[in-house]
Structure formats: C-alpha cells, structure tokens
Structure 1
Amino acid sequence: MSKKYHSPSSVDVIRFLFSNWKVVLGIPFLVAVIVAVYSLFIPNKFKSTANLLPSQRPSFGLDLFSEDGGLSSIASSVLGGNTDETNRYIVLLSSYSTSKKIIDKFDLINVYEVNGADDEVGEAIKVLNERSTFENLEEGNFIISVLDEDPVRAKEITDYYVQLLNELNTKIVSKDARLYREFLEIRYNQLIGDLDSLQQEYIKFQKQYGVFELPEQVKEYFRLMGLLTAQQLEAEVKLQALSSTVSTSSDVYKTQKVQYEAITKKLNELYNDEDPENIILNFNSLAEVGSEYYDLFFQIEIQTEIQKFLLPLYEQAKMEEAKSLPIVSVIDEPRVALIKSEPRRSIIVIFTGISAFILVTGYMVSRFTYLQNKEFFDSLRS
C-alpha cells in the first residue's frame, strides 16, 4: 500500500528550523565571515569626477543672418544640437587613439598588470573602459568619471581626458574651419575675377557706344530731339507762310528754307549717329544698346552685392580658423578622492550573508519535508 504525501505545517517547519538554528545561522555567518575576509584583499578604488558644460561652437558666419545667433542657433535648438554635441564627446573619448594616449602616458599596461598578454594594449583598453564612464545628463552637462586604485592617478587621468577632449575637438573644428575658409576663398577669388571681367567688358562697351550714364544720356537725348523737332516744325510753318506771301526766289524765303533744311539735316544726323566719341546716342540702336547696357549693369550690381555678402564671411572664416577655443568649460574640476568608491564591503558581506541564509533555509525546509515523507519517497523509488 503506497504512502500519501503530507505537506508539513508552518509550525512544524519553524520548530525544525529553530531546533537546527546553529546550522541555519552558523553557515550564513561563516560564509559572511569568509567573504568579509576575502573582500579585504580586494584593492580599494577611488573615483575622480569632472563636471563639464559644452561651450558654444563656431557658427562659421551663419550668425550674420540674425542678431540672436542666426541659423546655427535655430538649427541647434530644433535639431537637438546639445545632445549631438555630447554624443560626439563620448565618441571622441571612447576612441582607440584617446585610450592609447592615456595608456601610454600613465603606463597602464604595467599598472593593470596586463603585460605579457597577446594584446597588451587591447587588454589595457578593456580595463580602462571598465573604469571610465562618460555620462550625458538631461540638464546639458557632461560627466567624466575614472576609477583607480591610486586617487591621484584617477584625478590625473580625468584631467587628461578633459585635455584630450579639447585638443581633439579643436583639431576637428579647425579642420572644418579651414575647409570652410578654403571654399569661401575659392568662391571669393572667382567672384573677383568675374567682377573684373565684367568691368573690363563694361569699359569696352562704353568706348564702343559712347555710353557712360545711359538714363541721363537718354533723357538729354530726347530733350534735344524734342527741341530740334519743335524748331523744325516752327521753321516749316514759317516756310509755308512765306511761300504764300513772297516769291520763292526772295532772300527771306531762301534764308528760311536754309534754316529749315539745316534743322532737318541735324535731326537726321541725330537719329543715325554712329560716332562712338559722340555722347549723343543713335536712335536706331537705342533699344539694343539699352538692353546690353542694363545687362552689364545688373551683372556688375549682382556680383558687387555677392562680394558684400562673401567678404565678411570670408574674413570671419579666417578668424575662426586662427582661433582655438576649448570645447568644454569645466564646472567642477576633478579632485583627489579621500574616501574609496569601491569595493563596498559592508554591502557585499550583508548581501552574501542574506543569500546564504536563504539558501540554507531552503535546504533545511526541503530536508525536513523529505524526512516527514521519507516512506512516500521510498515507495516512489520502489
């Protein structure tokens, strides 16, 4: 006949644990003591922290569009420029070149005791990355923290991180500024060449057509034409009046006719004047001359306005290339820590003791359950 399984009551379990309190409490205590002793051999690590604030980057002349920072400020606020900037800090600080410089400067291969490894630099970088943290806070500041067994070295590594961050960024920004300046320089030199060609073409046009100030010349031209036309009309009227009162062979008639013919001849000359040295324009070619004049005039005006726009940008780009500004402002400088940051021995010991107590208690409850149902488990095996 098979035995039934009986689940032990809570009271029975508590009584059993109480009767074996030396085991339930002794083993966790012993484990905690062993861990506490072991933790004493774990080297202390000290943390040094630098609190940084990103500086305003050069705008490469875009601030000319606005008194409040222009397109660069607008783009930075709309596109989340601060986040992109601090993410760039993490990329720069986590790069192989940055880690290699720190390892070489502080001899971390020997400090981290990785000499003799297949990849000494790679192993040292792994340890350095584990001990270095770069954090971008929501408030906009940037935190660099370094753990090391030597508090002075932790501070020096943190300082060197800040120095390298500024150096790398200055190099990148200077390169961007140089490329921008070179682009503006090429465009500005091209503009100067185009403007010079237009001016030479304009001078040639002036010599060819005798045009200097077309609006004033046209105005004077039509005033003169109107005056001569009025004189021609007056002479013609007088001539017709004389033809009906005096003989056509009379001196008065001949004089008036000569005057009329002289005015008519002069008008014809003015309508068809092609002498480039004469400031009086040719009426037949006035439309063509005017079109070519204004085409040259407007091209020169456009190039001049572009020059007015490009020249300040070009000068500012040269200044941006020449100056060297830090990428970050140090709000809180790293300090030599007086209190260790790791290991937290009390937490390790307490956590280990509690874990051991839970495991031992679970084992003892399982053992008590087995002893209470030994015949049942034996029947299952048989």
Structure 2
Amino acid sequence: MSAAPVVGIVGSAGAYGRWLRGFLQQRMGLEVIGHDPADPHSEDPEQLLQRADVLIFSAPIRHTPALIADYVARSAGREAGRLWLDVTSVKSAPVAAMLASQAEVVGLHPMTAPPKAPTLKGRVLVVCQARVSRWQPWVQQLCAALEAECVHATPEHHDQVMALVQAMVHATHLAQAGVLREYAPLLGALPALMPYRSASFELDTAIIARILSLNPAIYEDIQFGNPHVAPMLDRLLAQLQHLRAQVGQGDDAARAAFRQHMLLDNRDSQGETVLAEGNYTFERVGYLLADLTERNAISVHLPEDRPGSLRELLHVFERHAVSLASIHSSRTPGGEVHFRVGFVAGSDAAALQRAAEEIDRSGIGRVLPR
C-alpha cells in the first residue's frame, strides 16, 4: 500500500466523479486519473487498471454492477493488493460485484449530492467495509479528510435503511408534487400558494424543488434499483389508504381511530426524547427560514479566510450605528461562502447603505446583489 496512492475514477466526468477528483487532488494531494465515455480525453480502462492503486466506481446505479464485472474480467487478478470503492446509493449489488475481484473492497455512500463545499463536513457518509485489511489505515485517512459523519453498516442493512431514508422521502415528495400539479388549474401553481405557506409547507416544497432540480436518473435508480423499496411502498400506501378510509367514514369512531392509530401510536413509537429533539430541530429551522426571508438584510462575501475577518465586518456596522438581528453563514448557488446579516426593524436605510459602501470600498468584503 502506497502512502500516496494513485486514484482512478471510473465515471470521472459525472457530477461525483468531478467532485471526487477535485477533493482528492486538492485536499489529499493525490494523483487522480479517470475514465468516462463522456470525456474523450480521459484515460482508457486499461490505464486505470495498470496504474491505479485505488479504483473508485462513480457511475449510475443501474450500470454499476455490470461495469464492475467488466473491470474484474479486464483486471484478471492484477487488482490483488489494491483497493476498490464505489459511491452509489445502493450497496448490495455493487459490493457483491467488487467482491468477485481480488481487491480489498469498501462501499461508500455520501448522503448528499456533490456539495459545493470542498469536503463532506456536516454530511453523513455510510461506509460498508466488505473486505479490507492492509488498506484500513488509508480508508480511515480518507474518511478523516472528507470530514463526514461516518456510519458503518453492512450492504444489506444499508439498502434496507435507504428504502426509508431515501426512497420513502423521495416517493412522498414526488407524490406531493403530482398533487400540486393536479390542483394547479384550480388553485394556481406553487407561487400562488406560497403566500399562504407554513414552515412545514415551505420545507416540503423546498425538498420537492431539490429533487426535481437534480439528475432524474439518480432518483429513478433509488426507487427501481433497491429491492427493499417495493415492500416499503406497499406499507406507505396501506397507511394512506387507512387514513383515506377514516376520513371517508367521517364519524366520531373514525376520528378516535385516527387519533389512536396516526397520532398516539406513532407518538409512543417515537418516544419522548426523539420527539423533543425533532421538535426543537423543526423550531430552529423555522427560525432560520424566518431570518432568511427577512428583506432587511445584506449578504457579504469575505475574500480572505483568516482570523478576524468577521470581526472587521461587524465593526463596520458598529461604526454606522446599525444593530444586527441575525447573522448566518451560507453559500451562494455558485458555492461562494458568505455571511447573511439581518438588521433590526426600523434600521436607518441610509446608514445601511453607507455601511455597505464602506465594506465594498475597504476590501473587507464584497456585498452580494440581492
């Protein structure tokens, strides 16, 4: 095992392939080579098999097992002593395909689309260590560099959990999107409904927008590529059909059954601690949404990542006698880190303008357009 292995990415032109290349080169200082049929300038598979100490499969879920099998046949035992990884959302079939090789095998599943951030900090990474010994220290080094919250699981358990954590969530929100589409001729499209929003509705529609904005093939494969999804959908439909029957019945007995089955039984199943933590999380997200929709605010990018930059920014507002109501760090759609600063109601608009001009003029930061 090399201390600085050459990493090969199969699917290097895809979204995660590109992100992984940048991460491995910039954060870990490794040489990265890749193959992708969408990139005519990429290396061919034989070059990856000859040179890559670590081979990462980053391809569509439905094609990954067959793709791995092709590399097993091409490699013909040369992979012995090397490490093979995959980063798909389903683990059983890809891991089983990699185990047909003589390489050490670890399945990875980042629980996020490729982030705009340079690492997976704040995100979960599921790690399925199927066959690993000599490469164990390097896998630990990789996980540490990714800065993710690593959760270890078997491939089978991972897929069972993903039927709930991913497929159920996607299915319910896609169903909601379909209902909204059907009601649009009567009540208007989503923009017409948003003035009536609750925090729950705003969060749900944000999730819908996220799903519909990303690669459709990923969401298709999550539903169709995991054998545990169909039984989950049966249970989900049964719950909804039960609710529909109770609402249709409409009497006091149906209300009592709803209260017991949908509310009390589920509350008891969750437990007081889990409910308290989840409710507090919802409240915090609600406060955040309220802050982020406040129009009396500006966003500032700080070009220098150094101690004291934020303090200098805040001193500008102090000098102009502007009181802050909130401050949040975030990223622009292009991935640029910025601070969104909200101000108390009734703040002097002229003072805010002068503060913004000083920020731009001084070079402390750059005020972003609203």
TM-score (normalised: structure 2): 0.18
More strand by share: 2
Structure with greater contact order relative to length (CA < 8 Å, sep ≥ 6): 1
TM-score (normalised: structure 1): 0.17
